[in-house]
A and B are shown apart, each in its own frame.
Chain A
Amino acid sequence: MQQVSRPFMRVSSLTWGVLAIPVLLLTIFIGASLGETRIPLDIVLQSLGNKLFDAGYDIDRIDQGIVWNYRTSRAVVAACCGAGLAISGVILQALLRNSLADPYLLGISAGASTGAVAVAIMGVGGGLISMSAGAFGGALLAFALVALLAYSAGGGVGLRAAGIIVLAGIAGSQMFNALTAFLITKSASAEQARGITFWLLGNLSGVRWDDTITAVPASIFGVLVAYLSARTLDAFTFGADSAASLGINVKRAQGVLITTAALVTAVMVSIAGSIGFVGLVVPHAMRILFGNRHRRLIPASALGGAIFLVFADVTSRMLIPGQILPIGVITSLVGAPVFAMILIGGRQKP
């Protein structure tokens, strides 16, 4: 195992900032360059130049449309979703002391699907609200119920027993999943059911620039809150009581951080459906590569999640000609073996 040569607490966050931004931009650029339609690199650059700096290159409007409206917007949203989900995973795993915790643990994905189905099939909102608004509402409702259940079951003692919120999340998820299944079986046509399934697996195909209005601030907010709470998250290494004895206001920290994770996840789910695997596996992979201290883990996970999802999206567009796979299928198909390799490579040496 890699030995730690100096305390993590001192590692300059500037290094991360300087490194992260160009890497992120490069990833998005690659996302914009690759796709089923082959567009030469110079056209891609010129399209971006036209849009970003009003450069005025004379290029095919269709190519430019594909690069800018279709691919770049998708890459940006994919990066935001990846970062947001990974950060939510880091927060929940740290606070709940449970390595199986993922962003959907709090019933958010189940609630979002119920909300989306209610809008799409039942016509809730009378066409005035979109499916993603419905999903967002459903996600928040589910989280509120799960939080309320956990709070009442824990006797309001600030969730010292982290197991309670996990159980409450499972109960909430089961209930909302059952509700979704009920609605689909009762009212959906085969076509609607297929569309909903596609959406549930995670899907970026409907994404346009409008979606960045919520995705970008939500992911930045999530990363920032988590980064500023890095020491608080570290303090939970030996559990909630130990965090309290280190001077952490456990109740407040759990409230603020879990709500942040829930909000960020709800925004991402409402845009892209429930993309699995990212929030669970990216943080673990980053822990193995960069250690457990959150000063490094948080930027690493945000960046790792962003890169992972952009490439997963590119793969989902290119793998089968003429057909776009749900991104969730790719994240699991590609992610599981990669994660297995990291797990084996990073195992503790005797």
Chain B
Amino acid sequence: MRMMCRDLGWGVRNKQIVEGIDLDVHPGETLGLIGPNGSGKSTLLRMLAGITKPTRGHIELEGQDMQRMAQRTIAQHLAFVEQHADTGERITVRDAVELGRTPWLSALRGWSEEDDSVVSKALADVGLVDFDKRQWATLSGGERQRVHIARGLAQQPRMLLLDEPTNHLDIRHQMSILKLVIGLEITSIIALHDLNQALLCDRICVLQDGRAVAIGDPKEVITPEFLAENFSVEARFLKDPEDGETVIHFCGALA
């Protein structure tokens, strides 16, 4: 799905958290949002998801002004997976994924067989087929993240937005979640912390102090000079002798 934003900004009182973002999201791509802590990744993502209303600029979804779209219509176009959304309620995995059908249901259009199959497919897509009846409270962090992604997929969105989906997961789950998201056919925007993971995205957008300082192919954008300037780290790029992939080796923090 095509998304475009111009001069996008959000601030509280006299502090501007995000400003002047111009971004074109191409259909089908995986766009990584990277930047140091407090650079505005989450805020930007929440604006793109239609949850935080921008204080400046505008966002267009398929040529339509998002500000004028009903929340329900936005939810039919894009799904948002927050960081650590948790619940104390005793629901099953399937219950949680079924919530994803909410934007498509109404008083006139009740739950149908089709909704059942969408939910089943979403569970299958994230590899949780046998988890149907598992209680939410019994899931591990990686499994919960998968359930959230399945809930997003059950919305049948044309774009998926994820806020640091690999945060606090062990390395195996980080790899599998990332592989899952990048393998999806729909457009996705992921806020990421790990720069090695960012190398796997089609394009990245680098935020620094609320501004987009670079947008493009991660292998071209992320260079040792760039990392020194924007992330204040000294880094070297190594080639894996086995598969030829580039790996960033962080040597130390710069003063």
Contact = CB atoms under 8 A, between A and B. Distances in A.
Given A4-B92, A237-B91, A246-B103, A348 B82 contact: no
Nearest to A9: B111
B52 to A, nearest CB: 9
A20 interface: no
Interface in A118-172: none
A292 B71 contact: no
A1 interface: yes
Given A4-B95, A249-B71, A293-B95, A241 B51 contact: yes
B86 interface: yes
Contact of A245 (B75, B87, B116): B75
B111 A10 contact: yes
A206 interface: no
A348 B105 contact: no
Contacts of B91: 237, 291-293
Contacts of A246: 75, 99-100, 102-103, 155
Nearest to A292: B89
Interface stretch (A38-46, A191-199, A218-226, A227-235): A227-235
B15 interface: no
B31 interface: no
A248 interface: yes
A237 B135 CA distance: 14
B72 A245 contact: no
A17 interface: no
B76 A228 contact: no
Contacts of B3: none
Nearest to B155: A246
Contacts of B95: 4, 7-8, 292-293
Contacts of A293: 91, 95
Nearest to A244: B51
Interface residues of B, number: 43
Contact of A237 (B70, B99, B101): B99
Interface string A242-280: 101111111000000000000000000000000000000
A127 B21 CA distance: 65
Contacts of B73: 247
A35 interface: no
A234 B103 contact: no
B251 interface: no
B13 to A, nearest CB: 10
Contacts of A7: 94-95, 98, 111, 116, 119
A237 B100 contact: no
Contacts of B50: 244-245
Contacts of B94: 4, 7
Interface in A6-28: 7-10
A249 B85 CA distance: 18
Interface string B100-128: 11110101001100011001000000000
B80 A234 contact: no
B103 A241 contact: no
A99 B87 CA distance: 11
B79 interface: yes
A35 B88 CA distance: 42
B172 interface: no
A235 B135 contact: no
Interface string B5-26: 0000000000000000000000
Nearest to A13: B110
B90 interface: yes
A323 interface: no
A170 B114 CA distance: 46
18 contacts: A4-B92, A7-B94, A7-B95, A9-B98, A9-B105, A231-B102, A231-B105, A237-B89, A237-B91, A238-B99, A242-B82, A242-B85, A244-B51, A244-B71, A245-B80, A246-B102, A248-B72, A291-B91
Please provide the 3 A-B residue pairs with the shortest distance between their CB atoms, ordered closest to farther: A247-B75, A247-B103, A247-B72
Interface of B: 46, 49-51, 70-76, 79-80, 82, 85-92, 94-96, 98-103, 105, 107, 110-111, 115-116, 119, 133, 135, 137, 148, 155
Given A8-B95, A242-B82, A244-B50, 5 more contacts: A7-B98, A237-B87, A244-B51, A248-B71, A249-B70
Interface of A: 1, 3-4, 7-10, 99, 228, 231, 234-235, 237-239, 241-242, 244-250, 287, 291-293, 348
